[in-house]
Structure 1
Amino acid sequence: MKRYYALIILTVIAQGSAFGQLEEGFRRWRAGVMTGPHLTIQVPEIPGVDQTVGIMTAADVGYALQNSHKGWSLHFQPGVNRWKTNQVNGEQGSDYYLEWKWKSATINLPLLVRYTILQGRVRPFAEMGASYLVRNYWKVKGSGQTCQNETCYPNEFDDKGNSSLEKGRFSALAGVGVEFGLGKITIPVTVRWNEQLKKIERFDDAFTGMQYTIPRSRTIQVAIGVTF
C-alpha cells in the first residue's frame, strides 16, 4: 500500500516536470496528489474503543485568486480515507465479552480556502473549509460470547456493507502547512484538523441493559503532496 502511494507521487512529479518545462510565468490553475496518515479521536471517548488510525489519498485541484503564490487560493481535494480500529466490551472468559475489528473507507469531497503568507521558495499557509461525505464502506469481524441463565451464546460474525449516512455527512476543516517551491513543482506539507458536524447519539440495548453511544469523529491528518 505504501509503495503504491509513493509510486503515484513519483509519477506525478515526473509528469509535472515535463509539463512545467512547457509553461512560462505563473499559472493560476494547479493540480496534483496528496497522501498521509491520520488519527481519529471519538467524541466522547468510548470505553474499550482504540484510537482509529488510517491513511488518506486525494487529488488536489487549486486555483489562485491572484497572479502570485502569495495570497488567496481555492482547493478542491476529492479523496478516500481508510481506517481500522478494535473495540472490546466486557472481559474475556466472563458472561459478556464482545470484540469487534473494524475496517472502513469513505469518499470525501473537501473544498478549502487557503491563504499563503510568503512568496519565496518556502511558503507557509493556513486554510479552512468544509467536506461532504459521499459514501462510507465498512467491514467488521466479531467474536465473543453472551451468557444468560447459565446458557452461553457465541457471537461470531463477519459483516460488511455501506452506511446510509443520513447524519454526519458534513465536517469542518482547518489546517496549517508549508509549500516548498521547486521550480514548476510544489511540495505542500499540511497538518489538518477535521471535525464531524453532527450531534452525539445514544441508545439503550434492551437485551444487555447497556447504553451505547454513536459519537462524532475528530481527525488529525498529516499529508504530503505534489502539485504542478
Structure 2
Amino acid sequence: MKRLYFVLLFFLIVATATAQEKKRSGSERKRKNNAAYNKKNKEDDKFLQKQWWLGFKAGPNLSKVSVDKTYSIVVPTNYEASTIGKNYESYNLMGSQATLEVSFYFKGFTISFQPTYQRSRFEYSNQFTWSDTVATHNVELKYNQEQKLSYAVLPLLVKYDFLTGRLRPYVQIGVYSALLLDATKIVTVSGVDQASGGANEFQNESVIVGAKDLFAKSHWGLLGGVGLNYNLGNNVRLNFDVAYKHGMSNISSTKNRFSSDRLSGVGDALDDLKLDNISVTLGCLFPLRFLSSGFKTLDKK
C-alpha cells in the first residue's frame, strides 16, 4: 500500500512540474509575440511618419486683375477721361493648368514643389463716341479686349494634414514665381454709326495680336488653399485641391507699354495690373518609399 502511495505521489510531482513548464513556455512565447507585434507597429508608424510623393493634377482656373495705375492712348479735351476708362471683367473667362507635384511628408507636415503650366484669361472693354456739332451725327465704338497669358508657375508650399486615416483634409500656404511663356490679345470692335443719319450697328472682325512684349517677363505672388487626399488602399491617393493665387507685382511691361502700332491704332495701352487666380485641380499621388506590388498601404482606416 505504501508503494502505491509513493507511485501516486511521484506522478503528481511530475504532472505539476510539466504543467508549470508549459505555463512558463506559453508566457515566454506570448512575450515574444507581443514584442514582435510592437516592433511591427513601430516600423509601420515610422513608415507613416515619413514619405515622398510624386503626382500629377490638372483642372480649370478663373482670373481677375486689379489696377494700380491706368494708361490711355486717347486723351479727351472736352469731356471727362473716366467716360472712356476700361471696364474689367472678373472671373468670367475659364483658363486651365497642369501640375507636376513633388512632396515630402513628415509627421503631418508636407513641403511641396509644384511646377505648373498655367493658361490665364481676362478681358476688359472701353467705349468712345465721335460726334460733330449735331448731336445725332455720331459714331459709338466699343472695344472688347481679351488677354490670353501662358505662364510657367513655380510654387513652393507648406501643407498640414488634419487627419491620419484614409481621408486626409489639409490646408496649404506658400509663395510662387511665374515666368511668362506667351501672350495674345484679341481685340473686337463693334458700335453704332449714326453719322449718315440712320443707326447702323456693326462689328468688325477680331484682331489677334501677339502681345508677349507688352507683359512683364515674370511676376510673383502669394498663394493659399485647401485640399483633400483620399487613400485608395493600393499605393495611390486621389487629390482634390482648391488654391488662390494673389499677385504681388506688376504683370505689364512698363518699357513696352506703347510699342505695338496695331494696338495703339485702336487706342489701347496696358494699365499697371496685378493678376489673381482661383484654380481647382484633381489628380493622383504615388508614394516613392516602399513602392512594390506586395506592399499594402497602412493608413486605410
Structure-1-length-normalised TM-score:
0.70
Q: CA RMSD in A?
A: 3.5
Aligned counterpart, 1:219: 277
CA distance in 1, matches of 2:118, 2:244: 14
CA distance in 2, matches of 1:162, 1:210: 15
Seen in structure 2, the aligned counterparts of structure 1 residues 163 and 108 have a Cα distance that, compared at 3 Å, is: farther
CA distance in 2, matches of 1:200, 1:170: 9
User: Are residues 1:79 and 2:87 paired?
Assistant: no
Aligned counterpart, 2:61: 38
Which runs of structure 2 are paired with 1:156-171 in the superposition (5 Å)? Answer: 157-163=207-213, 166=216, 169-171=219-221
CA distance in 2, matches of 1:131, 1:170: 6
Uncovered stretches (5+) of structure 1, i.e. residues with no partner: 1-24
What letter is aligned with 1:53? M
CA distance in 2, matches of 1:48, 1:132: 24
Which runs of structure 2 are paired with 1:109-148 in the superposition (5 Å)? Answer: 109-144=154-189
Q: Pick which of 42-51 and 135-144 moved more.
A: 42-51
Q: CA deviation at 1:116?
A: 0.9
Cα deviation, 1:154-189, whole Å, max 9, x if unaligned, reads 896321143476476111011111111112111121
What letter is aligned with 2:283? G
CA distance in 1, matches of 2:207, 2:96: 26
CA distance in 1, matches of 2:60, 2:157: 19
Seen in structure 2, the aligned counterparts of structure 1 residues 181 and 163 have a Cα distance that, compared at 3 Å, is: farther
Aligned counterpart, 1:88: 125
Aligned counterpart, 1:187: 238
Contact kept? 2:215, 2:251, Cα under 8 Å: no
CA distance in 1, matches of 2:88, 2:220: 27
Q: Pick which of 175-184 and 84-93 moved more.
A: 84-93
Larger radius of gyration: 2
Q: CA deviation at 1:47?
A: 1.1
DSSP-derived class of the 2:87 partner: coil
Contact kept? 1:195, 1:219, Cα under 8 Å: yes
Q: Pick which of 41-50 and 182-191 moved more.
A: 41-50
Seen in structure 2, the aligned counterparts of structure 1 residues 169 and 105 have a Cα distance that, compared at 3 Å, is: same
User: Are residues 1:58 and 2:116 paired?
Assistant: no
Contact kept? 1:200, 1:213, Cα under 8 Å: no
Aligned counterpart, 1:17: none
Q: CA deviation at 1:196?
A: 0.4
Structure-2-length-normalised TM-score:
0.54
Higher helix share: 2
Q: CA deviation at 1:114?
A: 0.7
Seen in structure 2, the aligned counterparts of structure 1 residues 115 and 144 have a Cα distance that, compared at 3 Å, is: same
DSSP-derived class of the 1:198 partner: coil
Q: CA deviation at 1:127?
A: 0.7
Q: Pick which of 157-166 and 117-126 moved more.
A: 157-166
Uncovered stretches (5+) of structure 2, i.e. residues with no partner: 1-46, 69-85, 130-137, 196-203, 259-263, 287-301
Structure 1 residue corresponding to 2:224, chosen from 174, 181, 205: 174
Structure 1 residue corresponding to 2:249, chosen from 195, 198, 202: 198
CA distance in 2, matches of 1:163, 1:113: 34
Contact kept? 1:37, 1:53, Cα under 8 Å: yes
Contact kept? 1:41, 1:52, Cα under 8 Å: no
Higher strand share: 1
The count of residues paired between Structure 1 and Structure 2 equals 193
CA distance in 2, matches of 1:109, 1:127: 15
